[in-house]
Every structure is written in C-alpha cells, then in structure tokens.
Amino acid sequence: MDLPPGCMVSEKQCQKVCKLKKSLYGLKQSLRAWFGRFTKSMRAFGYHQSNSDHTLFLKKQHGKITALIVYVDDMVVIGNDPEERKALQNYLSREFEMKDLGHLKYFLGIKVSRSSEEIFLSQRKYALDLLQETRMSGCQPVNTPIEEGLKLCVEPNQVSTDKGRYQRLVGRLMYLAHTRPDLAYALSVVSQYMHNPEEQHMNAVMRILRYLKNAPGKGILFAKNVNHQSIEVYIDADWAGAVDDRRSTSGYFTFVGDNLVTWKSKKQNVAARSSAEAEFRGMALRLCEALWLRLLLQDLGYLSRQPIQLFCDNKAACDIAHNPVQHDRTKHVEVDRFFIKEKLNDKIVELLKIRSEDQLADILTKVVSSQVFSKFLDKLGMCDIYAPT
C-alpha cells in the first residue's frame, strides 16, 4: 500500500511502499482474507466445506447433521443436533466477535415466517420502502408486471432517460426478485437496456413498481412434503422474441419436493434457427442446474434414487434428445445433444412431454394475459399472507 499522508520518512524511502501484514477492512482482498480465515476455523472445529457450495459447511455425527451457510459475515445455522449447534455458537463467539440474533426472522432483507408445517419467505418491507422512495406508494396498481403485447427494443430518435436512476431502480428490483419469481421475465427484459435506457424502458420499470403496489407482501411458500427428494424442472423458450437481435429467451422453474427453489429467465447467447433449437439449448443449460442441485442434496445427506424430471412442451426438442441418430439439422448442437443423451441413458434424467397449457415456465419467456399469469402463480406456491381476507 502507499505510504499514508503524514508519514515521516527519509528521501531515500519516499519511493517505497508498505507491505501489509494483515488485511485491512475495505481493501479488495479483505473479503477473500476473511473467508479464508473463517474457513480455516470451521475446518478446525470438524466441519467440512461443501463441494457444491463453498459457503456451506457441514458436520455429521451420530446420525445427525448441522449446517452453517455464510454470506460475507451473516450466517445461518440449522440442524437437528441442538448440542452441536450450541457448541458451534460458543466456538465462533470465542474465535470472532459475534452476536446471536436468535431464531431466524430476517436474513439479508428477507423475512422468514414459519410454523410447524410451512415456511414463508417475503421481502415486504423492502418492497414498501422501494415504493416509498420512488414516490409510487399512491400509484394505481396493475395485475401483471409487463404490459400484454409489449415488445421493447432500441428505437432511433427516442427520448433518453436518466441512466443512473434507471440502473439503480432495476438493480433494486433485481434484488427483490430473490423471493419474487413473478418479476423474473419483466426484469430480464428491462435489464437489457441498462447501457442506454429510453423513455419506453423507464415506463416499463414504472409498470413493475405499479405491479408491486398490487401485492408488496407476495412471496414463496414452502410446505412440508414427504417426497422431499424429487427434483422437477420445467423448461421453456420462445423463438426469436428479442426484436433487436432476434435471440430467444429461455426460462426454468426447479422444484424440490413440490416446492419452488430456483428459477431464471435469460436471453440466450446466440440466435436459434428454430424453436426446437431454442428449447434444446435451454434444456442443456437447465440440466446443469438440476445436476448441481442434486449434488447439493447429496451433501446434505439426501441421496436420491429418483431421476430428475425435465418437463418440456416442444415435441421436436424431445425427439432430438431421444433420437440416437445424428442429423444435419442438429450438427451445431451436437455437444448439447450428447450431453443430454448421456444423462438419459444413465437414468439420471427423465424427459417428459407436457402440454403447453401446463408449462409453468411459459411466464418466464413471454408476456401472458393476467388470467394465465395468476393461474401459474398459484401453481408455483406464491401467495401474500399479509393480504386482507
């Protein structure tokens, strides 16, 4: 580091720098140094680091398990061994300056409400604060986050808007999407214009805020389920939906034990030549996510014998996955084809064809009507426990 102001040194030492013996708060490497120190302490106490998620530490003994997950310096400890949990808290209090906040109620702005049968996650306070800061608390609410039939694009001679404000709003909304899968597609669209937003793009962001006003306390409900080892993935993709570059948007919902755990809506990196190709590319990428989730469950002690179920509504994409014959039309997706085919042959994955009306991931790839949108949200397990009855 450079010599601090006021440091008295001779002329010969003016060109020298200081060597850090200890990482200081605020430096680029401080987080890395802190996590390295924390990992060393956890290993010394008998915990092993998960290979699927390096922020997850596990300890299994006497048929019981204790897990700790850390985000920077915020931690959550769970497990069915009360004595080990208490011993871990005492150990960490000796090693670091820490404060026990009791049972989990808030974590990184996410409110956790629970009973003996259910857990509910929401960011109601975050959403209300955002509406208050943007002066949208008194706005007229709407039923969908994006207007039906709207196709955003870059148009010449359009009125530009405040770039900094646009980026801040989209950034804050993206954090809210941690418990709001209903915002995923709308945010995927508006985030594509962060570099040069126009008035139409800002209007789309305001529409999302008006949708938040409709149900700020909406969140994800996790219910106790006997079949907690099953993994189901709903995969969908539109075709050439982006007006600017004609790329496709793919999306997925992943369920573990009938509870929604991961989701994403993202524009693909390359243009697809057919709807089947768009679906097939999305299928290969989402399969990687499902395989990672399977490994994470194994780290937690759940060794599932059931195959991962992939639900796709495109018959051509399903036929390509099951067909062992190489065709000229599928040469450019050969790696994805062999990857999926290998998992199908090993019985790790089961690919199922479903009707388009039952494809939950449809709301992650295109704009749908308010009736269809509400129906799918109910199936996803989204609700608002704060809504008046």
**pLDDT for position 324:** 60
**pLDDT for position 353:** 92
Token duo for residue 256: 């573990």
**pLDDT for position 126:** 94
**pLDDT for position 244:** 86
Name residues whose C-beta falls within 8 Å of residue 85's C-beta, 6 or more positions apart in sequence: 66, 77, 79
Token duo for residue 378: 């109910």
Q: What are phi and psi of 56, to 5 degrees?
A: -105, 125
**pLDDT for position 359:** 92
> 281: closest CA among 363, 273, 345, 243?
273
**pLDDT for position 328:** 58
**pLDDT for position 329:** 61
- pTM of the shown model: 0.85
**pLDDT for position 3:** 75
Kindly list the averaged pLDDT for each block of 10 residues, start to end, along the chain of length 389. Answer: 77 78 75 90 94 93 92 90 93 91 90 90 94 92 90 84 93 94 94 92 94 92 81 91 88 91 91 84 88 91 86 88 66 74 89 91 90 88 71
**pLDDT for position 203:** 94
**pLDDT for position 330:** 62
C-alpha neighbours within 13 Å on the C-beta side of residue 109: 15
